[in-house]
Amino acid sequence: MASVLNVILPVFALILAGYLCRRAGILGPSAASEINRLVVWLCLPALLFEATATAVWAQIWQPQFILAYSLGTLAVFLLTLFWRLRRVGNLADASIQGLSASYANTGYMGIPLCLLVFGDEGLQPALIASLIVICVLFALAVVCIEVALQDEKNLPRATAKVLLALAKNPLVVAPLLGGLWALGGQPLPAPLHRFIDLLASATAPCALISLGLFLAHKQVGRSEGSVGLVLIKLIAHPLITWVLAFHVLQLPPMWAAAALLLSALPTGTGPYMLAEFYRRDAAVVSSTILLSTLGSLLSLSLCLLLLER
């Protein structure tokens, strides 16, 4: 319980800081959107570029773990996407809500938690899961949203518009450029690496403060569906991953335990960033992040208790 609290409390503190700054009038009504734009256009692309450009691919190539975590995460995303699409009737909103049910907070919470539970060995699965979440899952959601926002009826023209939009999207371009850099085998120049690292380090704090600013607006009565997304994130996601990691693929004990723990994490700020960036309703997403973070105190503690047996 203490290890979970050590990881979760700073998340709440940053959300609270944003909330209090807005309620006290220190930051204005447009601060949430402006800070989020900073994250989407500068901080998060730097994080995505750094993650792919500096990855040691020989070390992170763990096919069974990648398969277990990817299948569990993508299954939750797609199932929630189709469920919410039938309810809201809009692919863009359904994609963001599907992301809310599957986008685990692997970076800001997963890495420190795995280090606390597994020691230095826990860093490797946490980094792999972070790459899957912020590169594969995030990119898939962006593609779905871009497809939904196109009103072109001609298929070739619509495809061209989607590809052009993706080529202009920093969240898609950054990891691709990072991967190309990694293929060259050269380390990042020290000044450039430091610049990128400074921007990347600001991603989670700024996103969480922006979330707190948004919550201070009191979006009353507009967060229907968030409870269902929270239950999917904290129960269905780890349950599916547990079946895959422990029973289907039978991963080594540490890797299986890490997959379960990482899937039981609450929703990260990624869905909120996309909702704000694409000017979609962020009420359900923000509520899901807050409630899942609170609920993860119980779900993560339960997972740790089961893993000790």
Instruction: List the chain domain ranges.
Output: 2-307
pLDDT at 198: 94
Nearest to 202 by CA among 54, 38, 49, 22: 38
pLDDT at 224: 64
pLDDT at 221: 47
Nearest to 275 by CA among 96, 142, 105: 96
pLDDT at 236: 96
Nearest to 278 by CA among 99, 157, 69: 99
pLDDT at 234: 95
Q: The domain 2-307 is classified under which CATH number: 3.90.1150.10, 1.10.10.10, 1.20.1530.20, 1.10.10.60? A: 1.20.1530.20
**Spans of the chain, pLDDT less than 50:** 220-221
DSSP the chain: -HHHHHHHHHHHHHHHHHHHHHHTTSS-TTHHHHHHHHIIIIIHHHHHHHHHHS--HHHH--HHHHHHHHHHHHHHHHHHHHHHHHHH--HHHHHHHHHHHH-B-IIIIIHHHHHHHHGGGGHHHHHHHHHIIIIIIHHHHHHHHHHHT----SHHHHHHHHHHHHHH-HHHHHHHHHHHHHHHTPPPPHHHHHHHHHHHHTHHHHHHHHHHHHHTT--TT--TTHHHHHHIIIIIHHHHHHIIIIIIS---HHHHHHHHHHHTSPB-SHHHHHHHHTT---HHHHHHHHHHHHHHHHHHHHHHHHHT-
Which pTM value belongs to this model? 0.81
